[in-house]
Structure 1
Amino acid sequence: MPYVLLALGVLLALTAANAHAPRRGPGLLTPSFFAGWLTIELAPHVLVVWAAATALAAAFGGLDGWAGWTGLALAVLGMAGVAATLAASRRTVVTLRDSGAPLELDPEGAPRYPLAHLIVPPLCLVPRKGVRVERNVVYRQEGRLRLKLDVFRPAAERAGGGLRPGLMQIHGGAWVIGDKREQGLPLLNHMAVQGWVGFNVNYRLSPRATWPDHLIDLKHFVAWYKEHAEEYGADPDFLCVTGGSAGGHLTAMVALTANVPEFQPGFEDADTTVQGAVPFYGFYNFFEAGTFPRPFGTTRLMERMVVKQPFAENREVYAKASPVTYIREDAPPFFVIHGSRDSLIPVAEARRFVERLREVSGSPVLYAEMRGAQHGFDVFPSYRTARVIEGVERYLTGLHRQYRQGRAPEVPGEVTRSLGEPSVG
């Protein structure tokens, strides 16, 4: 048993070290990400399990020898490391406030994210009290193609009538996997509680789909929304868009390529503008090196499965697939969110995009960098997720308030002065 405790201690110490410094080398990237992701975002649950396992090993003779005591010391060090990641997540409120956004994170009377979901994460799969979900609504049908979405909206009618703001959620999954049933659920539930109508949208996936099929599908949704929003109590003239990872890339593309005919074949005259974008840990540049040693467009994923064209002879194609190409002065407001320990998409990708967007856009460009957060941190309803969701809701609600008052999107003057540099938590 002492050697069992030693092995456990080594495992816990290595897992904690990986959470703080994820590996990016060949063969290690994916397992390192998953191990760090689960450890960081489920830190309270991980600590309970680790403590119980260590105590059991010690109780059954694990301390009978030097190996057991060494294992115990390593286990304690590992748990201390995980506790440090938990402490970092508790500082997320500070990070969000440092983003420069008028988020009003603790407005009087505003409902907080439910504590029960933080204790029992699977509860996020169940619609929250006061939320009605309508599943598998078909928004595009052509021949055998049937694309569907789920609608999250308040169960009660709005007092005094009137239309509610709309939010489009785009799932991630490297453009090849993912589904509306898996991502964005904590955010959509919370937004519906706050009076929004959310649309969790599926789109065609590679390798069956070839870029820009993914974006074309999502633009079909925006056109569909303009025609059908009122059927769900939403305002057809107000739609914001959000999503993470590949969904973050697609969020930025939807926001920046409004009414671009190339991405609207057969419905070029449809209005596909949106009023705000909140991309989480997205990719924004496929054709320039910087965050990776070589452009991301040169990867096997992009050349063989998504774009399906060799990068060397088709660099312009990859440029046209990059949000950074479409940065413009009349871009909608952006709130870019990224984790500082993202091992799949380096945080420098977000910083570079925000810097370029701020140079050109006439709208507010806000940036929040989550201390210690991995890629996909918001999939689980962790403490960090709860605070980020509350912050995003306050930000989007502020945009909607300005829209209803007939004002252009803006950030208060004292905040504008702090937007010259990306805010790093």
Structure 2
Amino acid sequence: MRPEADFPDHQIDAKKVIAWAREHGHVYGIDPTRVFVSGSSAGANLAGLCAFTPNDPRFQPRFEHADTTVSGAILLYGYYGHYLTDAPDEPGSVLQPQGYFTGRTPPLFIAHGTNDGWGTVEAARHFASLAREGGVNDVVYAELPGGQHSFDVFHSPRFEAVVDGVEAFTAWALAARP
């Protein structure tokens, strides 16, 4: 919790969860080799940061040898700018997932509404474009006409379509890779 915690504390915590799921998932009937990260808004930023920094010791203090790779990432109405400062967006910032593109980008599913007042659709389009250019895996970008920020709060046909898209994406991502 801010201000007691700051970057990269939240990313380290999220990567601990990935490491835990890989180590203990089998106890709960989960295949620990098939881990996806997902987030909405700032959580999409965080999920992207985790997806693009697999096994990065900078973000895994005292658990450097844990496997924190993911099978893919689902990013809903993400904010891909600076969310811990008021600084203008700069490509490559340590606070942005795109600052960690290395060509090891896992498959991505990005959904964003055209009427999002918090994270702009232009930023989401730009992020998807950068991910396509900077990675070796596929990027699915779904733009929701008229969609607002937090489009998943209320049940709607629009969100049902997103859920169906996520289900198809994860099945495809798992089938396409051993």
1:242 maps to a residue whose letter is: S
Question: What do residues 356-395 of structure 1 show as CA deviations (whole Å, max 9, x unaligned)?
Answer: 1111211011111001000010122112111110111111
1:44-99: per-residue Cα shift (whole Å, max 9, x none)?
A: xxxxxxxxxxxxxxxxxxxxxxxxxxxxxxxxxxxxxxxxxxxxxxxxxxxxxxxx
Letter in 2 for 1:260: D
| Equivalent residue number for residue 372 of structure 1 | 146
1:401 and 2:175 are equivalent in the alignment: yes
d(CA) in 2 for partners of 1:284, 1:257: 16
Cα separation, 2, equivalents of 1:345 and 1:284: 7
Unaligned runs of 5+ in 2: none
Matching residue of 1:285: 81
1:324, 1:395 → 2: CA distance? 21
Q: Partners in 2 of 1:251 and 1:345 — Cα distance?
A: 15
Q: Is the CA contact (8 Å cut-off) linking 1:285 and 1:324 kept in structure 2?
A: no
1:267 counterpart = 2:52: no
Are 1:353 and 2:149 an aligned pair?
Answer: no
* Cα distance, 1:280 vs structure 2: 0.7
Structure 2: distance between partners of 1:379 and 1:246: 15
Per the TM alignment, residue 259 of structure 1 is displaced from its structure 2 partner at its CA by 1.1
Counterpart residue number, 1:392: 166
Matched ranges for 1:117-196 at <5 A:
none
- Aligned mates of 1:371, 1:252 — CA distance in 2: 23
- The 5 A counterparts of 1:177-256 are 205-256=1-52
Largest Rg, 1 or 2:
1
Structure 1 residue runs of 4 or more that deviate by more than 3 Å after TM superposition: none
Q: C-alpha distance in 2, partners of 1:360/1:212?
A: 23
- Mapped contact 2:79–2:118 kept (Cα < 8 A): no
C-alpha distance in 1 between matches for 2:52 and 2:10: 15
1:350, distance to aligned residue in structure 2 (A): 0.6
Q: If the length of structure 2 is used for normalisation, what is the TM-score?
A: 0.92
**Contact (CA 8 Å) 2:70, 2:106: kept in 1 or not?**
yes
The Cα of 1:245 is off from its aligned counterpart by 0.2
Q: Deviation digits for residues 184-214 of structure 1, max 9, x if unmatched?
A: xxxxxxxxxxxxxxxxxxxxx3233212111
- For 1:215 and 1:208, locate their aligned partners in 2 and report how far apart those are by CA, in whole Å: 14
1:282 shift after superposition: 1.1
Q: 1:348, CA displacement in angstroms? A: 0.8
The two structures have a TM-score, normalised by structure 1, of 0.40
Match of 1:170 in 2: none
Number of equivalent positions: 177
Shift in Å, 1:333: 0.5
Q: What SS does the corresponding residue of 2:118 show, helix, strand or coil? A: coil
Q: Distance in 2 between matches of 1:223 and 1:342?
A: 33
Q: Which has the higher helix share?
A: 1
Aligned to 2:111: 337
Q: Is the 8 A contact 2:43 2:78 kept in 1?
A: yes
CA contact (8 A) 1:274 1:332 kept: yes
